[in-house]
Amino acid sequence: MNFSKPDELKARLSALRPLNAGELKRLRDDFNIEYTYDTNAIEGSTLTLRETALILQEDTTIAEKPLRMHLDAIGHRDAFEYVVSIADTADQLTERQIKEIHTLVLMSDAENRGIYRSVPVTIQGATHTPPQPYLIAPQMEALLAEYEDMKRGRHIIEAVAEFHLRFEGIHPFIDGNGRTGRLIINLELIKAGFLPVNIKYTDRRKYYDCFDICRGNGHKPDMLAELIAGYEVEELKRYIKIIGDKNGSL
């Protein structure tokens, strides 16, 4: 695959006068609201974007919505903030980081937070059956080791796309795998100097198709890599425009 466009835009953004810490935080906070809305909606949350913003910005309780949805929104916000906080210092992706992300994501389920599942599961609507519990730890260890090799030989977008597809196939946790996996994508993108991306709820069918197509084409991650790259280009263009408008140029 050709990743010249996101690479070109990343270089262009890096050459511009940077946003100050306050401006960057505001943009990240705004992104996190939409990101939390979309990623939880993909998993079945019925909170609207406005309701998500009220919960995260004003600690509002939405009377008609279950407590679990409130906790899922707060937990995901905190997990994204954790990802951002470790991106500058983290090098190799580790099991500990993944479990810490999951611990924050699964705020509504104290018993299973940050712990690999101990029961077999099936994924609704999928033809793939995740491995038995006793295989999770060795498969995760192997995946993390192989991911380091992937990063050395491929563009980060392609490498993290394959990691995500395989991570979701292992389905290591009883719940919260999708949200955790999408946060890992963003951890790896930020570490590589890219912007975090938000896979939209409206694109959920295309996102789900990535898994089926990957299993049918020799486990190539091309479709998901293309989806991530498209979102990355959009985010980079948005930041470039914001900085350009702020500086009265571009």
CB neighbours of residue 96 within 10 Å: 9
Question: 5, 4, 6, 27: which is closest to 243 by C-alpha?
Answer: 27
The predicted pLDDT at position 92 comes to 93
Asked if 179 and 39 touch (Cβ cutoff 8 Å), the reply is yes
CA distance 57 to 54: 5
Residue 195's H or E segment, with its range, is none
CA distance 223 to 193: 22
CA 145, 212, 188, 110 torsion-angle sign: negative
CA distances from 200 to 88, 137, 149 (A): 26, 30, 29
Plot region of 89 (φ>0 → left; ψ -120 to 50 → alpha; else → beta) = alpha
Selecting among 70, 76, 102, 171, the annotated active-site residue is 171
**Separation of first and last alpha carbons in the chain:** 29
CA distance 9 to 212: 30
Pull the structure tokens for residue 167.
């991570």
CB neighbours of residue 226 within 10 Å: 18
Asked if 118 and 133 touch (Cβ cutoff 8 Å), the reply is yes
The predicted pLDDT at position 217 comes to 65
Question: 209, 156, 210: which is closest to 186 by C-alpha?
Answer: 156
- So where are the chain's domains? 20-247
Runs of H (alpha helix) within the chain: 4-15, 21-42, 49-58, 67-87, 95-105, 133-153, 156-170, 177-191, 204-216, 222-247
20-247: CATH topology is Fic-like fold (1.10.3290)
Ordered per-residue pLDDT tens for the chain, 250 residues = 889 999 999 999 999 978 888 999 999 999 999 999 999 999 999 999 999 999 999 999 999 999 999 999 999 999 999 999 999 887 899 999 999 999 999 999 999 999 999 999 987 766 778 999 999 999 999 999 999 999 998 999 999 999 999 999 999 999 999 999 999 999 999 999 999 999 999 999 999 999 988 776 667 899 999 999 999 999 999 999 999 876 665 4
Is-catalytic flag, 76? no
CA distance 235 to 241: 10
Residue 90's H or E segment, with its range, is none
Question: 62, 59, 63, 98: which is closest to 187 by C-alpha?
Answer: 98
